[in-house]
Amino acid sequence: MEVIHSLLVVACFRYTVSYVSVQIDVDKVLQNLDDQMFLGTAFDTLLLKNHWENFDTSSRSVQTLGRALSPSYFRIGGTTADFMVFQDGDKESMEAHPKRMQNFGQRLYGKLSYDTFNLTAQMFDQLYNFTSSVGWDMIYNLNALLRQKDGSWDPSNALKLFNYVTKKNYKIRGWELGNEPDLYGEIKVSPEQMAADFRHLVQILSGYPQFKNCLIMGPSVAGSVSYFKRFFEAGAAKIVTTASFHHYYFGTPSVDEFINPGMMDSLIERIAEFKLTANVLAPEAQVWLAETSTDWTGGQAGWTDRYLAGFLWLDKLGLSAKYGLDVILRQCFYGFHFSLINHEDLKPNPDYWLTLLYKNLVGGKVLSATTDDSTGKVRVYAHCTNHVRSPQYKPGTVIVYIMNLNLQAIELNLPQAGQDEFDVYLLQSAPAGAVFSRDVSLNGVTLVMQDEEHLPDLKPNRQTGHIVMPPLTMAFIVLPTANVTVCY
């Protein structure tokens, strides 16, 4: 810990260098993902309860930042989705809140109190218009805690929303019922009951032609593989198109956990458990990591919204792609202390730039990459390059993204590059070494918006030979002349 803090305070790079060789297996594709839609984002419904906080859907800079990530799925959900009641009108009406919903928050979550609230038609319009304006596809999290006396889901409020959406001719990409039902606590909704509720939802949606091809996402568990398994065993496999789970690394973190290979690798087992269960019980369904960030408490100011948090995020993207998750939704675009844009001034947080680079450069075909590093602190992933979003790169091009988690520099050797030139996108904190900084540099240039409607040019350095990565840095490296057959 003291070593890390000394690095943060003094950006002193009188370091020794370790030599690392990277090998890419270009003969086979591990996974073939949708390179346009693999990476999406989310909006927590608590922000709607809090009247948007500082989020301005009409802000030109916010729209510019959102549009740069398009196309993308945009999930509207979270814990408070199960306390949100749609009100077809612009005025909130407490009469819309069933008495049996009162005080659910304390019964569900103990010390955390959640009260029911209205989502007015005006608020839904504002949310939908923003989503549409930036070119995202909305997935909406319906309230699953509206219950009949017999314990089954009460769809009456959802019907109000469906009718309103139909009247407005809004295009919703997907529907989700409930958020993390494995954490409902005293309010028991069994996996079998939830499967029956999803069946009821799909029956209702079948009566609306415009919802014919909507995604149906669930059960969106916080972490219970048992709940997930029983949900699909109860018949949900015939109903759900998208099998979903959530993942966070920790509650209150220490600095070391952000660069701990063991912490990063803990995700592998979680993915494997959910993927295996879904592959056996719901082989036709995609598997999504439908809500994820670093810290399940909403983030830690000055930690999860800083450069340091990017290592866990980039590694999560790498592992999720490598082990075959179909989509990953970042919690969240705005809000709290782990969002892509700052919840106070709406400027990009470091993870925004990392997300944008990933979205632009990384393609859907996943390759195997290894290093001769024995410490586990050089993390490496390889893909075919996204030549659709980055047309300067032709089919056949390969991209490697690498993290140096060491407190010393590494010198990378890419044997497959030979003597050819390659493009390096090196990300560092700004200033270098200050990993608690809100600023990030790309090849030494601090990334800031040019104005409300223009992002900076994300220019690489073109070079040959070995690549030096300073301590605690990340890099995307594109091999334009790789001419890899599987990348065509």
pLDDT in tens, 265-280: 999 999 999 999 999 9
Band (pLDDT 50/70/90 cuts) for residue 95 is very low
Band (pLDDT 50/70/90 cuts) for residue 106 is very low
Sign of the CA dihedral running 479, 484, 486, 488: positive
Band (pLDDT 50/70/90 cuts) for residue 15 is low
Query: Quick one: 278 and 380 in the same domain?
Result: no
Beta bridge partners of 174: 139, 215
117 lies in some domain = yes
Distances (CA, A) of 254 to 3, 257, 261, 431, 486: 14, 6, 14, 22, 41
Query: Quick one: 334 and 383 in the same domain?
Result: no
Beta bridge partners of 18: 410
C-alpha–C-alpha distance, residues 246 and 219, integer Å: 10
Query: Quick one: 20 and 52 in the same domain?
Result: no
Check: CB of residue 367 under 8 Å from CB of residue 78.
no
304 lies in some domain = yes
345 lies in some domain = no
Query: Quick one: 83 and 51 in the same domain?
Result: yes
pLDDT for 139 equals 99
Q: How many CB atoms lie within 10 A of CB 209?
A: 8
Chain centroid to CA 194: 25
Query: Quick one: 174 and 257 in the same domain?
Result: yes
- 85-114: average pLDDT: 57
- 324-335: average pLDDT: 98
Quote the domain boundaries for residue 392: 2-30+366-487
Reduced DSSP (H G I as helix, E B as strand, rest coil) percent helix, strand, coil of the chain, to 5: 30, 25, 40
Q: Strand, coil or helix: what is 394?
A: coil
pLDDT in tens, 234-277: 999 999 999 999 999 998 888 999 999 999 999 999 999 999 99
Alpha helix segments (H runs only) across 110-257 = 121-133, 156-168, 191-205, 225-233
pLDDT for 99 equals 47
pLDDT for 90 equals 58
pLDDT in tens, 370-426: 999 999 999 999 999 999 999 999 999 999 999 999 999 999 999 999 999 999 999
Number of domains composing the chain:
2
Highest mean pLDDT, choosing among 103-117, 179-193, 260-274: 260-274
pLDDT above 90 covers what percent of the chain? 89
379 lies in some domain = yes
**Residue 126's CATH number:** 3.20.20.80
C-alpha–C-alpha distance, residues 477 and 31, integer Å: 20
pLDDT for 486 equals 98
Model-level pTM greater than 0.85? Answer: yes
Q: What DSSP designation does 253 have?
A: -
**Residue 433's CATH number:** 2.60.40.1180
- 439-452: average pLDDT: 98
pLDDT for 91 equals 60
